[in-house]
Structure 1
Amino acid sequence: MAWGNGFGWLGGACALLLSCPGIAQAEQSPAERAPAALVLDEVTVSARHREENARQVPIALDVLDGAQLNDAGIFRIGDMQQRVPSLLVSAPNERYTSYGIRGLGSSSFNDGIDGSVGVFLDGVYLGRQGMSLSDLVDLERVEVLRGPQGTLYGKNTSAGAINISSRAPTFEPEGNAEVSAGEYGLRQYRGTVSGPLVDGVLAGRLTGYDVERDGLVDNVYDGNDLRDQNRQGGRGQLLWTPSDDFSARLIGEYAWQDEHSNVFTTSNRSASTISRTAFLGYRQLPIDPYGRQVRQDEMNTIKTLQTGVTLELNRVLDGGATLTSISGYRDWTYDADQDGDGTALSIAENVSVRLPNHQFSQELRLADSPSEHLDYVVGLYYLRQKLNREVVARFGKDAAGFFLGDRPEIALFGITPEMIPASLLEGAQQTFDGEQLTDSRALFGQATWHATDRLAITPGLRYSRDRKEGWLSRSVSGLAPLGSDLVSQIGGALLRDTALGTEYYRRDALEENNLSGQLAVSYQLRADLLGYVSWARGYKAGGINLDVVGPSVQPTFDAEQVTSIEVGFKSHFWDERATLDIALYQADVDDYQALTNRAPVNEYAPPIRDNLINVGQVRLRGIELDGLLRASERVDLRMGIAWSDARYRDFPNAPCSPSSAKWSCDFEGKRLFNAPEWSVTAGADYRHPLEYGLELFGAMDYSFRSGYYGTLEGGEGSYQPSYALTNLRLGLRRNDRRWEAEVWARNLFDEDYVTAVYAQLAAGDYGVLTGDPRSLGLTLRTRW
């Protein structure tokens, strides 16, 4: 194929790398489509707050069609990364959730941090990353924007944004229902009804789901299964259109979760833990994370409740401009109980966490196209969040013997476990209370000047003001009086101070102002080829370390700032049967906000976990390709490839691996954690017409990620090996899709893989969340 204009290399790449964010399923049977209609369906996006063809947007983005996600059984953002190679979601549970785009992102386990990736649901920013883990059903589409996004959205995001849009009520009656059953006791029910309440004026939509599954991890202590699923939720909507120039959309949401899912299988034990458990005569399970077995004497439970209300108002003004108001209120409560030591010993026998989060946001936007050469959007934004924090750790009868078990004095004086009074720590309780209030205000705007029919220049600016204030306390209660025995008199007070800590209280506040922006230039090189170059400055406010900090960690941390340069091409060819998007980028991050786990400062002190620090400088470089091919009336193909080189450039005080004898290490030149070098997604959809108005269909999805460390310090047991997943679907349906039945296999080849890493009780102790094993099932759907 001749390309001309010096772009022959691009044509060659297109022939090899055919991928794209998604292909819309054809609603007509193949027999009803004429040969001339053998083209890709147009993909529209609202990333810039107006409906436009994705091929004309000078932003690197992936668009996931809601119907496609539903057909593939993808209802949670954690599974969407199988369709978006640049997206990494680490979600062992709602509190520990981490989003990353292009290798940039951080865990939300320290409650004082905001996400580098902003998640927006129907225009409302979700203030806690775990709020987005509810099932996302009845969606219009999901847009994943890569790179800093601040001049278009209310909340500034330094790594990217995920824009989720649910389906609006319709004035034509419609509905759907779906039932799935599978291995491990899987039972899923989902359904939607929509239609007019007052003809032409008021419409409603109601969506609900119920998901249950048995546990995948065997607790050999009591025979119970852990990591089950039990979630229910619903969304109700009203759409009011009293006139052509005004509309109001009211959305109410509810989501409930009650699961025994906060459990990790051991991937490594430190020498200290091995020595301590041996002293107590306790036999640990073999280290086999893929064996899916634990031995714990406390149940791990997570309960989350989320309710939300969104009101969107749109008014077309006399001059043609559109004024949009989006008001959102959300309550989210995380309530968990966890076996704190992960064993059948009674050490930290129970850790309970309660995190109520309340937020209100208001966004006003004005968008207009006053001439054929200019369009713009300007906005005001306000967000108020209140997070309360209560963490209680209770210690049991084995705690004193465990913490003293590796002390050299124990062997020197011939002390046995029976000689260590359990009352030194038994019944003791640590209580961590805290609160954080956040006020964010912003003024943002972006304009596009169409200088010629081919050239468009898009500048944008944002002014942000963030204020945070909070407090944190630690109290210790339940201590019994020290006895008169030798161990109590010599080491009792020291043991309590190191294991439990002393009374602690801290109050902090910070206020920051920032001016950031972006500039993009796009040029229509040919009718089927768009080129663009962009510069963007991203910003994420600093915050308060909502944990007891170590001696080298500050109580507050600085803002994270990203400077990104990107060059991209978007093309369609072969009579619009194929597309290929290519993006090359470099992003320099100053004061990257990261969660750190350090070894003890001395032989008596406990390890330091979950403190937030600023990494001096980080550089992200990479290439991304997304494309799609409609190979025939019956076959669609897609593939996405992302290569990332994410490295520390200035990090002289990094926490060393726990196995190292050093307290501080220099990580300059090392790869970032949670940043795989290679990520690949691919898929094929097949349709075959049958007699009597029936159609046979099938689909295969494939995703691959190379290995990477799941924690900043990179200790043994925190490495996540490379893995590849394959999902398969095969079914029969009416060609108008009134009903369909399919059988499916997820993780077809039963791949063992790790999705998240967690630092446990002692320095060098790690647990991992393993991915789901192969599962088979059946889904029945109907639409009307």
Structure 2
Amino acid sequence: MNTLPFSRLNTPSLARPISIAVAIALGVTAYPALSQSSGEPPSSVVDGNTPNKNAGLETITVTAQKRVQNLQEVPVAVTAFTGDEMAESVVKDVYDLRVNVPALGAFQSQSATNSSFSIRGIGTSSQNFGLESSVGLYVDGVYRPRQNSLINNLVDIAAVEVLRGPQGTLFGKNTASGAVLVRSQAPTHDNDGFIEATIGNYGLLNIAAAKSFSAIEDVLAFRVTGFNSERDGIVDDVYLGDNVMNDRNRWGARIQALYTPSDDISLRIIADKGKIDEICCAALTQLSNAKINPEGMPGTDLLLSGPLFGATLFDERSLTARVTAVSRLPISKMDDEGISAELNWQLNEELTLVSVSAYRAFDSIDIIDTDFSDADLFYTTNDAEQSSFSQELRVDYTSENMNAIVGLYYFEQDIDLRYIIDTQSQFGTFFDVAILPQLLASPLAPVLNGLNQLSELSGGTIAPLAQGASADFRFPHLAQQEHQSYALFGQIDYRVSPSLTVTAGLRYTDEEKDLKTTFEELDPNGNQIDYANFSEAGTALGNIGAALNSGQSPSAADLAAIAPLQRTGWGFPFIGSTTSPRPDILPPTLEDDQITGTLKLSYQPSNDSLYYASYSTGYKSGGTNTDRLAFISSLPADDPRQLNPVFDAEKSHAFELGLKRDINDYDFRINAALHYTTIEDFQANTYTGNGFNLQNAGDIETYGTEIEITWLPADNWQINFAYAYTKAEFDSFERGNCWVAYTWHTGIQDPGQENPSDPNPYCDRSGDRIGSEPEHYAMINVKRDIVLGDGIYSYLQVDYSYTGDMYLDSSNDPYKFQEDYTLMNVRFFINFEEYDTDLIIWGRNVLDEDYINGSDFDVPIQEGKLMAYASEPVTFGLTVKKRF
């Protein structure tokens, strides 16, 4: 047995004492300012060197309703950040925003190109290409159909807005729970630009730069942006190297042109490209199955760590030590590119024509050691290509008492996915020691033993039972989708009185999808495996035995019936759906049309107060599960007991009450919302250990409250606080996933089991919590301006966040429960006015909190074992930004 030396697992973090000392010294916590301008000193300075109190609460402008508005006048729950705020907070990517936005979930799972986003408990994993997002992602007004395309570094960004609640009217389908809007910096005629460098621990080196060029004064300007990001990994492999997994290796570039031939016309063209090529992502042991379970079954860790395999054995300590061992490092590559054109034409004082056209392409390839050990069992290759074209055309109308938007939208995309499972050199041995003994103790034993007995009876003329599984078998499936969508939408804001505004909007969407998923099971020669029918084989064995005893030759039909058992590979169906045959999914064209809309009432008694009530709807498309599902071969494909691979559209209905209030005498701002949302035909996607159980769960409901506060209590102080309570649970979900790990270890059956007397893979999850969603989330930051000298503006800020307990998937397996945890970030910012240069000393997760990064999973074909994805440890560094 190979075991990891305990000294590796018990080595204390050198950063922890330092982190605790810093925390005690500071004694406060913090969260990035929502509106403080970055890189600039406060608006007034006393005696030339003492920073004065911020000049009141800043006005924050957003585009949540597709026009520029003051955040405090928008009847939508929005959290907004400027690009400078994110740069000062050392926000690298969209995952870092999660810490700063109440009710937003964002985490990375099995690869750098797999991500999950949720808002108010409603979200979608990107690990199945048949799914579309519940959170709409938009960059410069262009919809990103694959969530993964937004995970690259956020560089040269003007603003990010997170809209909570359904946005089905203005932003269309796939915004059932909200939307994230990213706006990049536009070209200017000031020839402005910057260069920025960041260094940090784990070999972090980020370089970014941007520059605007005025080609024709006030008519034509260009902007070029580029970045490169490198960092060592944060996870060790005991044999393949230290700090090799979860590294950073990504770059991106953006070229823009802004053409303004007159005051009434502007045309902005953006071309961008980004690449990721990383060793990601490390799955670490959360729960080992190195034991004999109550049913007398040995866990696979016992088998794999034995002399037959010599694999390295880990327990839960590897999760905090961030160490593992795999037979091949995970490869994760992404290539994202596109071009867009936005035309704004002011037709007259009231009407503006807006056109946004875009083409995007997103290719990714992930190669993962799917047994997550250094045994040579099997690995998967996930190769996907996606391309899309979108066109939005709208007219914006503005008058004294009314604002209106009417528009048309067209979207088309093609998706091609090739997903392949390959068995490795030790897979046959694994089958012999882990699977075959169970089969020889099952009702199949007479057939398996009977063939060997018959071989002996024939003197070897009839071949014996072949090996059930071995190396170099392939299990590919190919998923293809062609998709077209059309929409007509409109929204009107009508001011009934100086203080009362009614908003009404509708959107009609019509879409069509042609989908096809084909499955193959191939032997080492590339031939389709011919699986045995055990009922027919049993009958044939009897007939052959009788023929031999009577001195007759067996019939060709009987010999053909047992032939599959005489060829290597007959045992793959008994390993699980991962390697089981299943029929192709060839549904007819899926056609759907939906009407979504919104109705809002806004009451603004003064410029400092807004109260609103809203009802909004949203939806996202249906489709097919592109994964290899469990299939009951003894039943017809259309039998209702089969899990249907085709799922229907998901529809959301949300009610919200909100207030936005500025108390200027106290420099105090509070924005709050109460919300209640129901989802019909929720598209649940939960990993079973052998594939994703993707289906319409039934209905879910979420409700809760969100509060965001900004307070300037005294000169040179700023405090921000945010809190979200989100209750998200299944109202009905009759065929959800069952407990796996807990039942294996304890022998206790899931109380939701659909058929307790004869257990099957499905359990009633009605009333259970949605996975990966905490009920409570809070964050606070405290910022203190510090005097260093003339022409130097500086501050110290500490961010602190609390994440409540949660189940890590929707099976609510008791072993998949994560306790609450807290995170602390610290930064010291200095701006040298004379040189227009920023210096930021920063630390993230300075208390070195250990937690699971969003999800865990049952390990394929290793029942009772749980693995989870590593969170980032203490990171710290120095950022220098020079503007010119």
- TM exceeding 0.5: yes
2:152 to 134, 145, 149: 134
Distance in 1 between residues matched to 2:599 and 2:33, nearest whole Å: 25
The aligned counterpart of 1:299 is: 329
How do 1:330-729 residues align onto structure 2 when only pairs under 5 Å count?
330-348=360-378, 350-369=379-398, 371-407=399-435, 408=437, 424-479=469-524, 494-499=570-575, 500-502=579-581, 504-508=583-587, 509-551=589-631, 552-575=642-665, 577-598=667-688, 608-658=690-740, 659-660=742-743, 661=749, 662=753, 663=760, 664-715=762-813, 717-729=815-827
Q: What is the CA distance between 1:409 and its match in structure 2?
A: 5.3
Residues 139-163 of structure 1: CA deviation (Å, up to 9, x unaligned): 1111111000011124441000001
- List aligned pairs for 1:28-107, cutoff 5 A: 28-29=41-42, 31-32=44-45, 38-92=55-109, 93-107=111-125
Q: 1:731 to 1:161 in 2, by over 3 A?
A: closer
Q: Is the 8 A contact 1:727 1:745 kept in 2?
A: yes
1: distance between equivalents of 2:381 and 2:879? 37
Cα separation, partners in 2 of 1:24 and 1:488, compared to 1, 3 Å: same
**8 Å contact kept, 2:228–2:250:** yes
Which residue of structure 1 lines up, in the alignment, with residue 22 of structure 2? none
Query: Are the equivalent residues in 1 in contact too, given 2:360–2:387 (CA < 8 A)?
Result: yes
Q: 2:37 aligns with which of 2, 12, 24?
A: 24
1:731-776 per-position Cα deviation (integer Å, ceiling 9, x unaligned): 4321467012232111111111111324331344432112111122
Q: 2:567 & 2:812 partners in 1: Cα distance?
A: 33
Q: Distance in 1 between matches of 2:823 and 2:35?
A: 18
- Aligned equivalents of 2:382, 2:199: Cα separation in 1: 33
CA distance in 2, matches of 1:458, 1:489: 68
Q: C-alpha separation between the residues in 2 aligned to 1:409 and 1:453?
A: 76
Deviation, structure 1 residue 56: 0.5
Residues 18, 303 of structure 1: alpha-carbon distance in 2 compared, 3 angstrom cutoff: closer
Give 1:5's aligned residue.
none
Contact kept in structure 1, 2:231 and 2:248, CA below 8 Å = yes
Question: For residues 451-503 of structure 1, what are the alpha-carbon distances to aligned partners after superposition, in whole Å with 9 as ceiling and x for unaligned?
Answer: 00000000110101121111111222234799x9x999589554133343336
Assess, with a 3 A threshold, how the Cα gap between structure 1 residues 669 and 506 changes in structure 2: closer, same or farther. closer
For 1:58-105, what per-residue CA distance to the aligned partner results, in whole angstroms no more than 9, with x for missing partners? 111101111100111103111101110210002123443111001100
Query: Retained in 2: the 8 A contact 1:634–1:686?
Result: yes
Asked if the contact 2:495–2:502 (Cα under 8 Å) also holds between the matched residues in 1, the reply is yes
The residue that corresponds to 1:3 in the other structure is none
Q: Is the 8 A contact 1:145 1:160 kept in 2?
A: yes
Change in CA separation of 1:60 and 1:755 when aligned onto 2, cut-off 3 Å: same
Q: Which amino acid aligns with 1:284?
A: L
- 2:10 paired residue number: none
Structure 2 contact 829–839 (Cα < 8 Å) conserved: yes
Q: What secondary structure does 2:348 align onto? A: coil
1:178/1:189 contact within 8 Å kept = yes
Alignment match of 2:301 (pick from 252, 274, 279): 274
Alpha-carbon contact 1:449-1:457 (below 8 Å) kept: yes
User: Using the alignment, how far apart are the partners of 2:834 and 2:700 within structure 1?
Assistant: 51
Deviations for 1:179-218, whole angstroms, at most 9, x for unmatched residues?
1111110111111111311111001111111110011111
1:257 aligns with one of 276, 285, 294? 276
Is the contact made by 1:19 and 1:626 (CA closer than 8 Å) also made in structure 2?
A: no
| AA of the residue aligned to 1:727 | N
Letter in 2 for 1:374: M
Q: 1:722 to 1:248 in 2, by over 3 A?
A: same
Aligned to 2:258: 239
Cα displacement (A) at 1:379: 1.2
Which one of 868, 874, 878 corresponds to residue 768 of structure 1?
868
Look up the match of 1:11.
none
For the residue of structure 2 that corresponds to 1:756, the secondary structure is: coil
Q: Say if 1:529 and 1:503 are closer, same or farther in 2 by CA, change over 3 A.
A: closer
Q: Specify the alignment match of 1:202 in structure 2.
A: 220
Partner of 2:267: 248
Aligned residues with identical type, % of pairs? 29
Distance in 2 between residues matched to 1:96 and 1:496, nearest whole Å: 28
State the match for 2:837 in structure 1: 739
Q: Which has the larger radius of gyration?
A: 2
Q: Does the 8 A contact of 1:747 with 1:774 survive in 2?
A: yes
| Contact persistence 1:192–1:205 (CA under 8 A) | yes
- The CA deviation string for residues 691-738 of structure 1, in whole angstroms up to 9 with x for no partner, is 332233222122221121222213355333322111111143214670
**Residue 697 of structure 2: SS of its match in structure 1?**
strand
Q: Which structure has the highest strand share of the two? A: 1
For residues 716 and 229 of structure 1, the distance between their equivalents in structure 2, rounded to whole angstroms, comes to 34
Contact between 1:594 and 1:612, CA under 8 Å: does it hold in 2?
yes
Amino acid at match of 1:656: C
Does the CA-based 8 Å contact 2:112-2:278 persist in structure 1?
Answer: no
Opposite residue 501 of structure 1, the aligned amino acid is: S
TM-score, scaled to structure 2: 0.81
Q: Distance in 1 between matches of 2:31 and 2:113?
A: 37
User: Deviation per CA, 1:617-658, whole angstroms, max 9, x where unpaired?
Assistant: 111010100111123442221111001111111122222111
Displacement after TM superposition at 1:531 (Å): 0.6
Would the aligned equivalents of 2:170 and 2:490 in 1 still touch at CA under 8 Å? Answer: yes
| Alpha-carbon displacement from aligned partner over 1:234-258 (angstroms, at most 9, x marks no partner) | 1111100001110000001010111
Distance across 2 between alignment mates of 1:770 and 1:608: 21
Deviations for 1:421-476, whole angstroms, at most 9, x for unmatched residues? 87832111111112111111111111001000000000110101121111111222
**Kept after mapping to 2: 8 A contact 1:87/1:102:** yes
Deviating beyond 6 angstroms after TM superposition, the runs of 4 or more aligned structure 1 residues are 17-20, 33-37, 410-413, 419-423
Greater Cα offset, 570-579 or 79-88: 570-579
Give 3-state SS (helix, strand or coil) of 2:190's partner: coil
With normalisation by structure 1, the TM-score equals 0.91
Across the aligned residues of Structure 1 and Structure 2, the Cα RMSD in angstroms comes to: 2.7
Output the CA distance in 2 between the equivalents of 1:31 and 1:424: 76
Going from structure 1 to structure 2, the CA distance change for 1:180 and 1:78 (only over 3 Å counts) comes to same
Query: Contact between 1:400 and 1:421, CA under 8 Å: does it hold in 2?
Result: no
Which stretch has the larger CA shift, 131-140 or 220-229?
Answer: 220-229
What is the one-letter code of the residue matched to 2:258?
L
Which one is further off, 421-430 or 309-318?
Answer: 421-430
Q: Find the residue that maps to 1:23 and give its secondary structure.
A: coil
Letter matched to residue 580 of structure 1: I
Listed as ranges, the gaps of 5+ residues in structure 2 are: 1-29, 294-298, 450-463, 531-558, 632-641, 744-748, 754-759
Q: What is the Cα deviation at residue 550 of structure 1?
A: 2.9
